[in-house]
Chain A
Amino acid sequence: MTARVAKWPGVELSAADLLEGKVTQTRFRPDAKYAWSAGEAISRFLEELQAGRLIARTCHRCERILFPPRMFCEECFRPTDAWTYIRDTGTIETYSVSYLDTDAKRISEPILVGVVSLDGASPKMGMMHYFGEMTKDEIRIGMRVRAVWRPAEERKGSVLDIRYFRPLREGER
């Protein structure tokens, strides 16, 4: 049948068609604002970030240390059992060197971003964050890193209370 269809539907527009007003458009900006309740687990997580610590929840059945913390274990489908602090050091699981900002605009100074699995949590459990004090040529998967915290008075209870993760120095652990 596709071989028999002479003209496939659709009329292509160019950017110029829009700029020159050849087609009409209606504009609307939705009034959409949200304030999500963080819930029990993430509220505590954010409070601890403000205090300069990372906290996880343990599940006694599967014996995992869950980070970021949650009040229920998705594997066992039961409430988690206890709070436990984990360390602010970890390992780069993966990363990207981004020349794009949020809106896909080009930036000249690239952002180093990736996933860090954290020491003290179960294997592979971590968070997305930025990397600093390293160049795009130095960063690699498996690199050991440590959180660089904002000064206590600047922290707000946000993942941004950590500025970025930097390489672990010689002899540091």
Chain B
Amino acid sequence: MRVGIIGVGLTAFRPSTPEYSWKELMFEAASRAYADAGVDPRADVGSFVTCAEDYYEGFGIFDEFVPDQLGAALRPTCTVSGDGLQGLANAFMQIQTGLIEVAVVEAHSKISDVLTPIGIIEHGLDPIWNKPLGFHPYVVAGLEAAAYLRATHTPTKALDAVVSKTRRNALRNPIAAYGAAVDMDHVAASEARFEPLRSLDISGPADGAVVLVLASDRAARRLHANPVWIRGVGWASDSPSLETRDWAGATYARLAAGMAYRLAKVRRPSSEIDVAEVDDRFSYKELQHLEALGLAKSGEAGKAALRGAYAADGRLPVNISGGSLGCGNVFEATGLHRAAEVALQLRGDAGSRQIDGAKVGVAQAWRFVPSATGAVAVLGAGP
């Protein structure tokens, strides 16, 4: 059974949204997605999935505060404590069982409600091994960046190219919070933070909500929808322990991509994928993830980035949305935002960011520091 994305809804991403509660933010994204899909959530939707973590929200059980603004009151609804793409994968499976025909996936960030975001991220470290050391949690990204750059002989200059390209891409995305004409020199000259990472290598926080409506092929036909097909999904975790994980290779992304490609019957990703949206919440992650996804050979992504291969007019447009560096870090909504962007590209609805002739795209996300978990979705244009 094929499963398609029949509705896409996004709010603008902004560093803070004091005028809206998280409920009103979710309501806006949901309303847009239902209008886009032409569905009534009270009549047409069989299941709702939200992706959230309690400490990001400031609740003991955030699931309580989800249904009303999605149209999900007295309906099958659940929380996946994961990235939006893991939520997408679960909705995909629900439909594959045949029990559910139309499912809604929501993810959001209201990180501006959190006064101590770094304190929260630090709270994700191992309580016995790591927390007593008292380090800033982004040190984990610094350690990984150093390991990756060294293992792959990638020059730091490649990170400058990633940041410059992606922040510029965001200028063409009306929802982006951090679009800017940043040059490679600016990046290189930005303040050192977590060696080798500098301030411009790190995405800034943003609020925003994303909702996708998924349907079986039969339901999509009945609803006269124009689906973008989910050809494959994959998700995987490496060790949660900082002491034993693979620091250089993003194993979680390699395993997740392997699963998604297997389902999608993608054998040679580097020649079959037309557009890629990969997690770049730290600049090196874009390169590391491209290699883990088989879109560049190990050690080649940095060189290709310096050649402009990942620009809008390059061999493989990457993070044409503006990525997280340009749109902002929307935490658990990161992957769902990327799936939404790929869906818009494959539908030809990406406005001034539109890539010509894109038929197959991949969206990938990671669960951010300190996790080693990630997910991948391969999407294909209709019919």
Contacts and interface: CB of A to CB of B under 8 A. Distances in A.
Interface of A: 26, 28, 30-42, 70-72, 74-77
Contact of A39 (B24, B34, B115, B116): B24
B40 interface: yes
Given A28-B127, A30-B120, A72-B27, A37 B20 contact: yes
Chain A at the B interface: SS class: loop
10 contacts: A30-B122, A32-B123, A33-B115, A35-B115, A37-B19, A39-B24, A40-B24, A71-B24, A71-B27, A77-B41
Contacts of B69: 72, 74
B113 A37 contact: yes
Contact of A31 (B22, B41, B42, B116): B116
A32 B55 CA distance: 8
Most buried by B among A39, A40, A41: A39
Interface residues of B, number: 35
Contacts of B116: 31-33
A38 B21 contact: yes
B58 A75 contact: no
B127 A74 contact: no
A40 B114 CA distance: 19
B262 interface: no
A41 B123 CA distance: 32
Given A70-B23, A74-B73, A75-B73, A34 B113 contact: yes
A26 B40 CA distance: 51
B110 interface: yes
Contact of A77 (B40, B110, B119): B40
Nearest to B73: A74
B17 A37 contact: yes
B18 A26 contact: no
Contact of A32 (B19, B22, B71, B119): B119
A146 to B, nearest CB: 29
B221 to A, nearest CB: 24
Given A40-B20, A42-B21, A34 B58 contact: yes
Interface in B132-183: 132
Contacts of A39: 19-24
Given A28-B131, A76-B42, A36 B20 contact: no
Interface of B: 17-24, 27, 34, 40-42, 55, 58, 67-69, 71, 73, 110, 112-116, 118-120, 122-123, 127-128, 131-132
Nearest to A71: B24
Nearest to B71: A77
A36 B22 CA distance: 8
Contacts of A35: 113, 115
Nearest to B72: A74
Given A31-B122, A77-B41, A72 B19 contact: no
Contacts of A74: 67-69, 71, 73
A38 B74 CA distance: 24
Given A70-B23, A74-B73, A36 B132 contact: no
B31 to A, nearest CB: 8
Contact of B58 (A28, A36, A72, A76): A36
Contacts of A42: 21
A30 B123 CA distance: 6
A26 B128 CA distance: 6
Nearest to A36: B113
A41 B55 CA distance: 24
Contacts of B113: 34-37
Most buried by A among B21, B73, B110, B123: B21
Given A26-B132, A72-B27, A72-B68, A34 B41 contact: no
A34 B114 contact: yes
